Amino acid sequence: MTNHPGTIQGESSSPAGVDWSTHASIHLAGGGGILEGFGGVYRGTLAQMVAMIRNMPEADRAAHVIYKDGDHILTVPEIMSLAARPDFPL
Protein backbone atom coordinates (compact mmCIF):
# COMPACT_ATOMS: atom_id res chain seq x y z
CA MET A 1 0.00 0.00 0.00
CA THR A 2 2.81 2.38 -0.70
CA ASN A 3 2.98 4.77 -3.60
CA HIS A 4 6.58 3.86 -4.41
CA PRO A 5 7.19 1.99 -7.65
CA GLY A 6 8.47 -1.57 -7.44
CA THR A 7 11.54 -2.97 -9.07
CA ILE A 8 11.52 -4.76 -12.40
CA GLN A 9 11.25 -8.09 -10.55
CA GLY A 10 8.16 -6.83 -8.77
CA GLU A 11 9.85 -6.37 -5.41
CA SER A 12 9.11 -3.28 -3.41
CA SER A 13 11.78 -0.59 -3.41
CA SER A 14 10.52 0.79 -0.10
CA PRO A 15 10.13 -0.51 3.43
CA ALA A 16 7.02 -2.54 4.18
CA GLY A 17 4.07 -0.67 5.60
CA VAL A 18 1.39 1.82 4.72
CA ASP A 19 2.25 5.19 3.22
CA TRP A 20 -0.23 7.22 5.26
CA SER A 21 0.73 10.44 3.44
CA THR A 22 -0.24 9.24 -0.04
CA HIS A 23 -3.05 11.15 -1.75
CA ALA A 24 -6.57 9.74 -1.32
CA SER A 25 -10.15 10.86 -1.72
CA ILE A 26 -13.55 9.81 -0.42
CA HIS A 27 -16.24 9.01 -2.99
CA LEU A 28 -19.82 7.85 -2.81
CA ALA A 29 -19.88 4.07 -3.18
CA GLY A 30 -21.37 2.67 -6.38
CA GLY A 31 -21.10 5.90 -8.35
CA GLY A 32 -19.64 4.27 -11.45
CA GLY A 33 -19.07 5.99 -14.75
CA ILE A 34 -16.00 7.05 -16.68
CA LEU A 35 -15.49 10.28 -14.72
CA GLU A 36 -16.08 8.83 -11.26
CA GLY A 37 -12.46 9.53 -10.28
CA PHE A 38 -13.17 13.26 -10.46
CA GLY A 39 -16.20 13.08 -8.16
CA GLY A 40 -14.46 13.04 -4.80
CA VAL A 41 -16.41 14.27 -1.80
CA TYR A 42 -13.27 14.90 0.30
CA ARG A 43 -9.55 14.90 -0.56
CA GLY A 44 -6.44 14.62 1.57
CA THR A 45 -3.95 12.06 2.80
CA LEU A 46 -4.83 8.41 3.21
CA ALA A 47 -4.63 8.82 6.99
CA GLN A 48 -7.04 11.78 6.93
CA MET A 49 -9.57 9.94 4.74
CA VAL A 50 -9.42 6.75 6.85
CA ALA A 51 -9.93 8.83 10.01
CA MET A 52 -12.86 10.68 8.44
CA ILE A 53 -14.70 7.46 7.55
CA ARG A 54 -13.76 5.82 10.88
CA ASN A 55 -15.37 8.78 12.68
CA MET A 56 -18.60 8.65 10.65
CA PRO A 57 -21.69 7.08 12.20
CA GLU A 58 -21.63 3.37 11.35
CA ALA A 59 -24.80 3.66 9.27
CA ASP A 60 -23.18 6.30 7.02
CA ARG A 61 -19.90 4.47 6.34
CA ALA A 62 -21.31 2.01 3.79
CA ALA A 63 -22.16 4.87 1.44
CA HIS A 64 -18.47 5.74 0.97
CA VAL A 65 -15.23 4.33 -0.42
CA ILE A 66 -11.70 5.69 -0.54
CA TYR A 67 -9.78 6.03 -3.80
CA LYS A 68 -6.09 5.71 -3.00
CA ASP A 69 -3.52 7.21 -5.33
CA GLY A 70 -2.75 4.52 -7.88
CA ASP A 71 -6.36 3.52 -8.63
CA HIS A 72 -6.96 1.32 -5.59
CA ILE A 73 -10.46 1.48 -4.08
CA LEU A 74 -10.78 0.78 -0.35
CA THR A 75 -14.11 -0.48 0.94
CA VAL A 76 -15.39 -0.05 4.49
CA PRO A 77 -13.96 -3.37 5.81
CA GLU A 78 -10.51 -2.43 4.45
CA ILE A 79 -10.81 1.11 5.81
CA MET A 80 -11.75 -0.06 9.29
CA SER A 81 -8.90 -2.58 9.20
CA LEU A 82 -6.47 0.24 8.40
CA ALA A 83 -7.93 2.38 11.18
CA ALA A 84 -7.31 -0.44 13.67
CA ARG A 85 -3.63 -0.84 12.78
CA PRO A 86 -1.21 0.01 15.59
CA ASP A 87 0.75 2.29 13.22
CA PHE A 88 -2.33 4.34 12.27
CA PRO A 89 -1.21 7.94 12.89
CA LEU A 90 -4.51 9.66 13.77
pLDDT number for residue 29: 84
What's 63's DSSP letter? T
Structural domains of the chain, count: 1
The string over 11-35, giving b where at least 16 C-beta atoms fall within 10 Å of a residue's C-beta and e elsewhere, is: eeeeeeebbbebebbbbeeeeeeee
Query: What is the extent of the structural domain holding 35?
Result: 23-83
> How far, in Å, CA of 12 to CA of 48, rounded?
24
Task: Tell me the pTM.
Answer: 0.74
- Across the range 76-82, mean pLDDT stands at 95
Domain contains 27: yes
Domain contains 89: no
Domain contains 6: no
pLDDT in tens, 1-59: 444 444 444 444 445 688 999 999 998 887 654 455 556 788 999 999 999 999 999 99
Domain contains 4: no
